[in-house]
């Protein structure tokens, strides 16, 4: 009985250590930050829901401050280039394919 209890405790300790080492995704980090800010402002109910929604969408910060993944940033740059060149249709599609396949500098 003591052995089983000891193994259960050990498994719990090892399991919690592994969970603490887990790296959070950017979305999870944003959720944690927004939650902490909402708690610090003592927001409750609908006011908290609205704040959290806006914070998670990152709509409170200027557009330049929004965090984009590297792939999203690359798509944004390629799309802007295609727009400046006024490409459309199949030509635009081919340009976007090639642009997105290029390695970052």
pLDDT at 93: 92
Q: Tokens at residue 92, please?
A: 């635009």
Question: Considering the domain boundaries, does residue 18 fall inside one?
Answer: no
Domain match, 40 and 74 both: no
Residue 9 lies in a domain: no
Distance (Å, whole) CA 105 – CA 80: 17
The parent domain of residue 101 ranges over 68-105
Whether 2 is covered by a domain: the verdict is: no
**Residue 74 domain-assigned?**
yes
pTM for the whole structure:
0.38
56/88 same-domain check: no
The pLDDT assigned to 64 comes to 45
Cα–Cα distance, 98 to 90 (Å, whole number): 12
Q: What is the pLDDT of residues 59-78, one digit of tens each?
A: 555 444 456 677 888 888 89
- Please count the structural domains in the chain: 2
For residue 40, being part of any structural domain is answered with: yes
Say whether pLDDT at 96 is over 60. yes
* Residue pLDDT, tens place only, 1-56: 555 555 555 566 555 555 556 787 777 888 888 888 888 888 889 988 888 888 88
């Amino acid at each position: 009985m003591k052995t089983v209890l000891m193994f259960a405790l050990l498994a719990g300790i090892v399991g919690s250590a592994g969970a603490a080492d887990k790296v959070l995704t950017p979305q999870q980090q944003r959720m944690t930050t927004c939650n902490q800010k909402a708690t610090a402002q003592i927001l409750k109910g609908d006011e908290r829901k609205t704040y959290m929604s806006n914070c998670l969408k990152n709509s409170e910060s200027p557009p330049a401050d929004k965090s984009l993944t590297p792939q999203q940033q690359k798509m944004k740059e390629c799309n802007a280039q295609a727009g400046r060149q006024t490409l459309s249709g199949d030509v635009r599609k081919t340009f976007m394919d090639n642009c997105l396949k290029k390695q970052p500098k």
